Structure 1
Amino acid sequence: MTDDTPNDPQDAIDSEGERRREELDDRIFDHSAGDDQEGVPFVGAGPGNPRLLTVAGKELLEEADLVVHAGSLVNSELLDEYCGHAELVNSVGKDLEELIPLMRDAYEDGDNVVRLHSGDPAIYGAALEQMDALEHEGVPTYFVPGVTSAFAASATLRTQLTLNEVSNHVAFTRPQGKTLTPEEDHISDFVEMGDVTTCIYLGTHAVRDTMDRLLEADHDPETPVAVIYHASWPDEDVIIGSIGDIADKVEDAGYRASALVVIGDAVTGAGYERSFLYGDWANRGPDSSDGNESDAQANETQAGDD
Structure 2
Amino acid sequence: MTEQPSETDPQTAIDSVAGNRDDRVYEYSAGDEQEGIPFVGAGPGNPRLLTVAGRELLADADLVVHAGSLVNSELLDEYCADAETVSSIGKDLEELIPLMRDVYEAGDTVVRLHSGDPAIYGAALEQMDALEHEGVPTYIVPGVTSAFAASATMRTQLTLNEVANHVAFTRPQGKTLDEDEDHISEFVGMGDVTTCIYLGTHAVSETMDRLLEDGHDPETPVAAIYHASWPDEDVIEGTIATIGEKLEDAGYRASAMVVIGDAVGGEDYERSFLYGDWANRGSSDETQEADD
TM over 0.5: yes
* 1:80 aligned partner: 77
Displacement of 1:284 in angstroms is 2.3
Larger CA deviation: 132-141 vs 6-15? 6-15
1:183-202 equivalences in 2 (<5 Å): 183-202=180-199
Query: 1:210-267 CA distances to partner (integer Å, 9 max, x unpaired)?
Result: 0000000000000000000000000000000000000010000000000000000000
**Does the 8 Å contact 2:44/2:116 carry over to 1?**
yes
Which whole-Å CA distance do the structure 2 matches of 1:126 and 1:69 have between them?
A: 13
Residue correspondences, number: 284
Unpaired runs of at least 5, structure 1:
289-306
* SS of alignment partner, residue 279 of structure 1: coil
**Does the 8 Å contact 1:6/1:100 carry over to 2?**
no
The amino acid across from 1:278 in the alignment is: Y
Percent identity, aligned pairs only, is 80
2:241 corresponds to 1:244? yes
Which whole-Å CA distance do the structure 1 matches of 2:245 and 2:3 have between them?
A: 54
Unpaired runs of at least 5, structure 2:
286-292
* 1:298 aligned partner: none
TM-score (normalised: structure 1): 0.91
* SS of alignment partner, residue 266 of structure 1: helix
Which whole-Å CA distance do the structure 2 matches of 1:194 and 1:66 have between them?
A: 46
* SS of alignment partner, residue 106 of structure 1: helix
Displacement of 1:10 in angstroms is 0.9
2:141 corresponds to 1:140? no
* 1:117 aligned partner: 114
1:14-25 equivalences in 2 (<5 Å): 14-16=15-17, 18=18, 21=19, 23-25=20-22
**Does the 8 Å contact 1:6/1:97 carry over to 2?**
no
Displacement of 1:15 in angstroms is 1.0
The amino acid across from 2:7 in the alignment is: P
Which whole-Å CA distance do the structure 2 matches of 1:239 and 1:129 have between them?
A: 35
* 1:253 aligned partner: 250
1:85-96 equivalences in 2 (<5 Å): 85-96=82-93
Runs of 4+ in 1 over 4 A off after TM superposition: none
* 2:153 aligned partner: 156
* SS of alignment partner, residue 202 of structure 2: helix
2:95 corresponds to 1:98? yes
TM-score (normalised: structure 2): 0.95
2:58 corresponds to 1:64? no
* 2:288 aligned partner: none
Which whole-Å CA distance do the structure 1 matches of 2:23 and 2:124 have between them?
A: 20
